[in-house]
Amino acid sequence: MTVKIVTDSTSDITSRLAQELGVTVVPLTVFFGHESFQDRVNISTDEFYRRLSQESIYPTTTQPAPGLFAEAYQNLLKGNNEILVLSLSGRLSGTFRSAVNAVGMVEGKGRIEVIDTSLTAMSLGLTVISAAKMAAQPGMTLRQLTENVKAKLPHTSTLVAFDTLKYLAKGGRIGKAQGLLGSLLAVKPVLTLKDGEVAPMTRLRSMSAASDYLYNHIANMPKVEALAVEHATTPHEADILVARLGKIFPKENIYRSVLSPVLGTYMGPNILAVSFIESK
């Protein structure tokens, strides 16, 4: 009996990595007008950001229907597995509730745990990767794994440098960064996740200054266990940041990813994000 990990598409792990780790990814949905797409399944990130810049209508999103989670649970339970579900923050999406509701739809009593990680993007991704690696350890039980994962959550987060807050504001996810709206100067806000919602960190005048800030934030941490860098439409800037971070953290262990279309809906283009798990 092994513990299997289930997560949602905002965890931003590539499908190859998901396969390698034996992780099941349940997609959210992105709508462009009446067209709907499964996040990272039938719309690629490239296509999404292209449409975002070209179309005049803003995309919207919805959480996965409980049925999708139930289907995933069903498949995994068949193999005599236990399931740990790691969902993005319940304050950002109804995905957590969907995942919880789905538990009642299957015969998995006592064998499914659902955690609201309060995270998203690669902070959720790193949590999933870490959980999958721990689950592979012989004799790991669901209860133990749940405890281990929860213990790392307070030391896990994402910092995101934004070009504009308008997507966050329009999508209603701006959270505690509300006060940063309406600036009369062009600034690049850096935001983070706090208690499951978006919170402000600081503001910079340019994206390269923001990249410096992200670098320094990581450099000032005493010990980092896992690290990831993501971009939306600016891979070159992200590569520069990775190269710098590679001097203070094993470069081959820095995960590289692209922000999923669902996340792109709320963040917009020109984003730089760094995620980490600190060792405590």
Question: By the criterion CB under 8 A, which residues form the site for another protein?
Answer: 176, 178-187, 192, 199-206, 208-209
Of the candidates 231, 261, 272, the one whose C-alpha atom is nearest the C-alpha of residue 51 is 261
Closest distance of CB 276 from another protein, Å: 14
CA distance 102 to 124: 20
Question: For the chain, what is the largest distance between any 2 Cα atoms, rounded to a whole number of angstroms?
Answer: 58
Q: How would you list the strands of the sheet with 29-32, edge to edge?
A: 35-38, 29-32, 60-62
Which lies closer to another protein via its Cβ, residue 134 or residue 204?
A: 204
**Which pairing describes strands 197-204 and 188-194: parallel, antiparallel, or unpaired?**
antiparallel
Which lies closer to another protein via its Cβ, residue 157 or residue 257?
A: 157
Closest distance of CB 231 from another protein, Å: 20
Residues 6+ apart with CB under 8 A from 254: 227, 228, 229, 242, 245, 246
Which lies closer to another protein via its Cβ, residue 42 or residue 183?
A: 183
* Residue carrying the six token digits 């390698």: 20
CA distance 2 to 106: 18
| 132 torsion bin: left (phi>0), alpha (psi -120 to 50), beta (else) | alpha
Which lies closer to another protein via its Cβ, residue 62 or residue 202?
A: 202
Q: Tell me, rounded to whole angstroms, the distance of Cα 26 from its chain centroid.
A: 13
Which lies closer to another protein via its Cβ, residue 133 or residue 205?
A: 205
Closest distance of CB 207 from another protein, Å: 9
Closest distance of CB 180 from another protein, Å: 7
Which lies closer to another protein via its Cβ, residue 76 or residue 177?
A: 177
Closest distance of CB 156 from another protein, Å: 15
Closest distance of CB 193 from another protein, Å: 12
Residue 61 contacts residue 29 (beta carbons within 8 Å): yes
Closest distance of CB 176 from another protein, Å: 6
Which lies closer to another protein via its Cβ, residue 6 or residue 274?
A: 274
DSSP-assigned states of every residue in 190-256:
EEEEETTEEEEEEEESSHHHHHHHHHHHHHT-S-EEEEEEEESS-HHHHHHHHHHHTTTTTGGGEEE
DSSP for residue 43 = B
